[in-house]
Amino acid sequence: MNELRSSPATAESVAADLERAIHEHRLPPGTKLGEDELGEVYGISRTTVRAALQSLAHHRLVELRRNRGAFVAQPTVREAREVFEARALLEPRTARSACQRMDADKLQTLQDHIDAEHAAIDAGDAGRAVYLSGQFHIEIARMADQATIEAIISELVARSSLIIALYWQRRAALCESHAHHALIDAFAAGKDDLAEDLMKSHLLDLVTSLDLRNRTSIPGSLREALSQ
Amino acid sequence: MNELRSSPATAESVAADLERAIHEHRLPPGTKLGEDELGEVYGISRTTVRAALQSLAHHRLVELRRNRGAFVAQPTVREAREVFEARALLEPRTARSACQRMDADKLQTLQDHIDAEHAAIDAGDAGRAVYLSGQFHIEIARMADQATIEAIISELVARSSLIIALYWQRRAALCESHAHHALIDAFAAGKDDLAEDLMKSHLLDLVTSLDLRNRTSIPGSLREALSQ
DNA sequence: GAGGACATTTTTGTATACAATACTGCCGAC
DNA sequence: GTCGGCAGTATTGTATACAAAAATGTCCTC
């Protein structure tokens, strides 16, 4: 995406670029992220690449194996459950707070998000739709005016994106935006109790839409290659 | 602490060492962490030091200012409130889960923690007492068998340690261990509702024991120097 | 022909050298 | 006397070079 930017890429910009690529499933779980390769792509040295990879590793988006290199993380079934457990503790109450601080501008921002989501779905860009769907949750946390919780949710949303890439069973791609619509309605009506409940059940729906049976899709990329 | 270890220090060990030093308030908020200086102390190059500092920066324990260097973080009053807001969302429910999975071994582990805490207090080592007090909370999260939530709480506890260093008003140093005792009792009795409530009020007590008035102790070290 | 050991190659881990940026002290002008 | 600019110094940011580890491919032995 940024191969030919004028100023040299920084560790932060590379990390952001990679994070987005992972988010949008252009870099699927298990992908090897070679340092030389990335350095060549972005026109920077391995030093800077390593800084970016370390940053992503701290967010659990890439796994760093000693003397082996960096790989796009492959959350286990257990991790998947845990991430949504954590989100279930944080997001409903955060949605309530956001509802209490809602105003016309914020409502419009959320509406724009949903519109962009729909546009991505219509364009057949599922990866981008997932990304935007996650951003919707982060935006709500931001509106709750809790920067710390927002940062935590951002991380969990990013990991959720990986989880969706691994465990999503394509049944109804549109159920999500319906839930998001309902949330906006609750926000607009100022019904904070409802917003909290909607978020709670929305997250529950998300988990149940995943295929988290204890099959062996956990470990390395070899299993995936064998199953093809 | 590790100046004369046989094998060379790794980025991880340096990060752990620094984290502990920050935890125990041996490195107070605002302390400059020069790369050359640290490299000399641990007998490693700046490359490794930088990796450790970046790791700590991701956990918000140190602040990285571009072309300025690394400093032990100085959470603002706002951040302090936010950190405890997040803990209030996560820890009570986690204490409940831990209670439901409690057994004799785990109870003993928690009791040992408290004993160590008391020993540190008796020895006048307040820094270590704060560290152990934090570990108590992390241990509970671990017992809830939620690695993801445990990691989040670990980060919040570490930041809480900085907040305590900055905003703690020394009144009753022993109120904490009393709350921890009460929690153990609830665990032993298997009263998960009580455990959840106790954790909730314990966190509330912690916040109220801080001096979070909007005084100007926020920004750089200059303000602190002026007030002395 | 199969298995294991060794050498090769590739890739990461670490240190060092250079460049860029910000800070400190000095000097001159107003 | 104070303010503004300028040079020197120190520290971080980045790149490159070297060392170590792991993976792979080849060859020899059984």
**In the listed set B50, B72, B94, which residue is the last one of a domain according to the structure?**
B72
Is the four-CA dihedral A105, A107, A113, A117 of positive or negative sign? negative
Phi-psi region of B168 (alpha: psi -120 to 50; beta: other; left: phi over 0): beta
Residue (of B216, B65, B71) closest to B226 by Cα position:
B216
Q: Which residue is nearest to nucleotide D12 (CA to C1')?
A: B67
Q: Which residues of chain B have a pLDDT value below 70?
A: 1-7, 170-176, 214-228
Q: Is residue A224 part of a domain?
A: no
> B171 and B141, same structural domain?
yes
Q: Are A198 and A183 in contact (CB under 8 A)?
A: yes
Separation of CA A225 and C1' C7 in angstroms? 30
Q: Is residue B180 part of a domain?
A: yes
| Residue B34 DSSP label | -
Least trusted range by pLDDT, from A37-46, A60-69, B96-105, B120-129: B120-129
> A94 and A160, same structural domain?
yes
Distance, CA of A110 to CA of B54 (rounded, Å): 33
DSSP sequence for A66-109? TTTEEEE----HHHHHHHHHHHHHHHHHHHHHHHHT--HHHHHH
Separation of CA A105 and C1' C29 in angstroms? 53
Question: In total, how many domains does chain A have?
Answer: 2
ipTM score of the complex?
A: 0.89
Domain CATH code at residue B142: 1.20.120.530
Q: Is residue B213 part of a domain?
A: no
Strand nucleotide closest to residue A8 (CA to C1'): D14
Cβ distance A86 to B51 less than 8 Å, yes or no, reads no
Phi/psi for B68 (5° steps) reads -120, -35
Q: Is residue B217 part of a domain?
A: no
Judging contacts by C-beta atoms under 8 Å, the chain A residues touching residue B54 are 51, 54-55
For residue B157, give its domain range. Answer: 77-208
pLDDT tens digits for range A187-227: 999 999 999 999 999 999 999 989 888 655 445 444 444 44
**CA nearest to B146 within chain A:** A82
Strand segments (E) across chain A:
32-33, 62-65, 69-72
Q: Is residue A173 part of a domain?
A: yes
Confidence of residue A122 (pLDDT cuts 50, 70, 90): confident
Residue (of A205, A198, A208) closest to A95 by Cα position:
A198
Name A residues 22-81 whose Cβ lies under 7 Å from strand D. Answer: 44-48, 51, 67-68
